[in-house]
Amino acid sequence: MSTIPRQGKKALEPLRPEKATVVDVIRETHNIKSLRVVFDDEELMTSFTFQPGQVGQLGVMGAGESTFAIASPPSQREYIQFSVMKTGVVTTAIHELAVGDRVTVRAPMGNHFPVDRWQGKNVLVIGGGIGMAPLRSLFLHMMDHREEYGHLQLIYGARTPSDICYRDDCRDWKQCGDVDFITTIDTGNQDWEGRVGLVPAVLEEEEPSPENNIAVTCGPPVMIKFVLESLGKMGFRDEQIYTTLERRMKCGIGLCGRCNVGPRYVCTDGPVFSLKELGELPDEM
Ligand SMILES: Cc1cc2nc3c(=O)[nH]c(=O)nc-3n(C[C@H](O)[C@H](O)[C@H](O)COP(=O)(O)OP(=O)(O)OC[C@H]3O[C@@H](n4cnc5c(N)ncnc54)[C@H](O)[C@@H]3O)c2cc1C
Ligand code: FES
C-alpha cells in the first residue's frame, strides 16, 4: 500500500476531520458552487500545503462527507477552494451552506500532477464541466511559476455560456496574453463570441504538436474518451497524457478498498494517472 503524501510543518492526521469555516460562496453555474474554507486552527491554516491535483474530503454535519478536488492553487494561503456540483445528498447539503457555516475538511489526500517533472515542457490542459476544478489549481500554479514552463494552452469546454465556471479567471487568462486560452461551448447563442464546438473537435482544429508537450485532461467520461482518441491521432504518446480518476471514496487513506481500480486505489495511488499507467490497469473506466 502506498502512503499519502503529507506535507507542511504540521501534517494533518489522515483520519481526523479538521474543523473549518466557510468564508465565501461563489455561485458558478446553476448547479456548481465554489466554497472557500479556512481551518479554524490558525496554525494548521498557516502550515497547510498541497500540490495541484490533490483532493480533500469536505464534510457537513448530519449529511456526511464527499471527495472534491482542491480548486485553488498552492500559492493561495488564505483559503482552500472546492467547487461542488450538486448531485446528491452531501453535495446538496454543501450547496445550502452560507458564509460562517462550519464544515470539516480532511486534506490533502492523494497524489498530484507531477508538475516538477514537467518543467521546461509545453503543457496542454483540456477541461470540461466540473473537471475544470483540479485543472484550475494546476493552471494557476503553472502561471505562478510561468518561467518554468514552455507554451501553456488551456482548452475549456462547457455545454452553454451559462455553464462556464471561473468567469474571473477566464477573463484574466484571455487578457494576460502569456497563455493560449480557448473557451468553447457545445451550443452557441447570439451573445456568445467565443468558439462553438465539442472539445475534441476544437482540439483537432488547434492541432497542438506533441513535441515536448504534456497533455492533461479532466472532465465528463465521454469528453475524455474522445479527447484521448484525438491526442492519439495527433501523435501524443501514453506517457505524455495525464488524467484524473473518480471513484466513490470512504476512508480516503487506502484502508477500506472502496475506490480500487484493479490493484490500485484512487485515494492513495491517484487520482492522477498517466495514460500509460491506466493502460496497465484492468479496463474499468
Ligand atoms: C478524486 C475525486 C475528485 C472529485 N472532485 C470533485 C470536484 O472537484 N467537484 C465535484 O463536484 N465533484 C467531485 N467529485 C465527485 C464527488 O465526490 C461526488 O459528486 C460526491 O461524492 C457526490 O456525493 P453526494 O452525497 O452528493 O451524492 P450521492 O447522494 O452519494 O449520489 C448522487 C449521485 O452521484 C453519484 N456519485 C456519488 N459519488 C460519486 C463519485 N465519487 N464519482 C462519480 N459519481 C458519484 C452517485 O452514483 C449518484 O448517481 C470527485 C470525486 C473523486 C473521487
Ligand atoms: S477510499 Fe480508497 S481505500 Fe478507502
DSSP-H helix ranges across the chain: 42-47, 89-95, 132-144, 167-176, 199-206, 221-233, 275-279
Pocket flag, ligand 1, residue 88 (CB < 6 Å)? yes
pLDDT of residue 8: 36
Q: How confident is the model at residue 1 (pLDDT cuts 50, 70, 90)?
A: very low
Domain borders along the chain are: 18-109, 122-244
Give the pLDDT mean for 34-39: 98
Pocket flag, ligand 2, residue 257 (CB < 6 Å)? yes
Q: How confident is the model at residue 203 (pLDDT cuts 50, 70, 90)?
A: very high
> How far, in Å, from the CA of 248 to the mean position of ligand 1?
7
pLDDT tens for 143-173 read: 999 999 999 999 999 999 999 999 999 999 9
Cα distance between residue 235 and residue 129, in whole Å: 26
The strand pairing partners of 213, in sequence order, are: 122
Residue 27 CB neighbour total at 10 angstroms: 10
What ligand 2 atom has the least distance to the C-alpha of 267? 2
> Is the CB of residue 137 less than 8 Å from the CB of residue 79?
no
* CATH, domain 122-244, list 3.20.20.330, 3.40.50.300, 3.40.50.80, 3.40.630.30: 3.40.50.80
Cα distance between residue 192 and residue 180, in whole Å: 19
Q: Considering every ligand atom shown, identify the ligand nearest to the alpha carbon of residue 253 and give its number.
A: 2
- Sign of the Cα torsion 115, 166, 18, 62 reads negative
pLDDT of residue 242: 97
pTM above threshold 0.85: yes
Cα distance between residue 77 and residue 75, in whole Å: 6
pLDDT tens for 229-265 read: 999 999 999 999 999 988 777 777 888 888 888 888 8
Pocket flag, ligand 1, residue 91 (CB < 6 Å)? yes
pLDDT at 226 over 80: yes
Class of the 18-109 domain? mainly beta
pLDDT at 38 over 80: yes
